[in-house]
Amino acid sequence: MNLEAFRKHTQIHEQKLSYLDVGQGPVILMGHSYLWDNAMWHPQIECLSKHYRCIVPDLWGHGQSDAPPSQTSSLRDVADDMLVLMDNLNIEHFSILGLSVGGMWGSELALKAPTRVKSLVMMNSFIGFEPEVTREKYFGMLNTIAEVRHVPAPMIEAITPLFFGDKTAQEKPELIDSFKQRLGNIDDNNVDAIVKVGRMTFGRRDTTEDAHLLTLPCLIMAGVQDKARSVLESFLMHDVIDGSEQVNIDDAGHISALEQADVINAKLSAFFSQHLA
């Protein structure tokens, strides 16, 4: 599938938000991981677009989207922006499928528009505070990137293993290589946007305080080898979101949607066929 054939753009707060619009039927709004773009969802778009309309934005500062608008300073603001996208497309009801930061702003959007969001899937995500140790570590990295105006090679080597399971380097080396290239392409043109979104992500609020309000069907999935988001965090979200379903994905790290695409697609198809008529 040539995803570029389905690319469109909209204006939100005078900034361009790029997105894919693929398929017909009930709508799934899909949010990708930090430091990736909407092509991360390629296997899921190919599968789900046979039965659903997939709206797949590039997060601000990623892919072909512009930098975040000046008034967008938190993940709650990102959720507001994604709701504007849905309004611009005249979409009243939809489900959310988010991985990593996509699940973080997805949960905020579900809280903001509970009558419009029909179901929520969060993969390799965590809606609580970023743990202090990792928050300080990531903020230090972001400060360095902002100062030197690119991602230094040693940092690329340190960041890359956080996104993948133990066997991915051997079984799917192209994922590793393309991700390293992506990080190496961050330069003075987009470094400020990447840093701003990173600070919003790792400086997020503790959304678990409002988790009791998430009464919609909710599926939580985690790669058991995720080094960026511990599977224990998914168990914690499962505990605080009443009625949620929790599934572990073997032989997958943070980008489980690409590492174990067939398994993920089967789980998503079963969930949405039950909750997105």
10-residue mean pLDDT profile of the chain (277 residues): values are: 96 98 98 97 98 98 97 98 98 98 98 98 98 96 97 97 94 96 95 98 97 97 96 96 96 97 98 90
Q: In what order do the strands lie in the sheet with 94-99?
A: 7-12, 15-22, 53-57, 27-31, 94-99, 117-123, 218-223, 245-249
Chain mean position to CA 10: 19
* Pairing assessment for the beta strands 245-249 and 218-223 based on DSSP bridges: parallel
> Residue 155 in contact with residue 144, Cβ under 8 Å?
yes
Q: According to the model, what pLDDT value does residue 155 have?
A: 97
pLDDT given at position 248: 97
Q: Which two tokens stand for residue 15?
A: 């900034």
Round to whole Å and give the CA distance between 19 and 218.
24
Q: Alpha carbon 94 to chain centroid distance?
A: 16
Give residue 276's pLDDT: 83
∠ CA(95), CA(29), CA(26), 5° rounding? 55
The reported pLDDT for the residue numbered 130 is: 97
Residue 42, classed as helix, strand or coil, is helix
Residues 6+ apart with CB under 8 A from 120: 95, 96, 98, 106, 107, 110, 214, 216, 217, 218, 219
**Per-residue pLDDT at 65:** 98
- pLDDT, residue 204, reads 98
* Contacts for 248 with CB less than 8 Å, ≥ 6 apart: 221, 222, 223, 224, 231, 234
Backbone angles phi, psi at 258, to 5 degrees: -100, -35
The C-alpha atoms of residue 234 and residue 239 are separated, in whole angstroms, by: 9
pLDDT at 277 (0 to 100): 67
Question: Is residue 129 exposed (0-12), middle (13-18) or buried (19+ Cβ within 10 Å)?
Answer: middle
CA-nearest of 170, 55, 146 to 102 is 55
What pLDDT score was predicted for residue 157? 96
Other C-beta atoms lying within 10 Å of the C-beta of residue 72: 21
Q: In the chain, where does DSSP find H-type helix?
A: 42-48, 75-88, 101-112, 132-148, 153-159, 168-171, 173-184, 191-202, 231-240, 256-259, 261-275
β-strand pairing of 7-12 with 94-99: unpaired
3-state helix, strand, coil in the chain (%, to 5): 50, 15, 35
The pLDDT of residue 266: 98
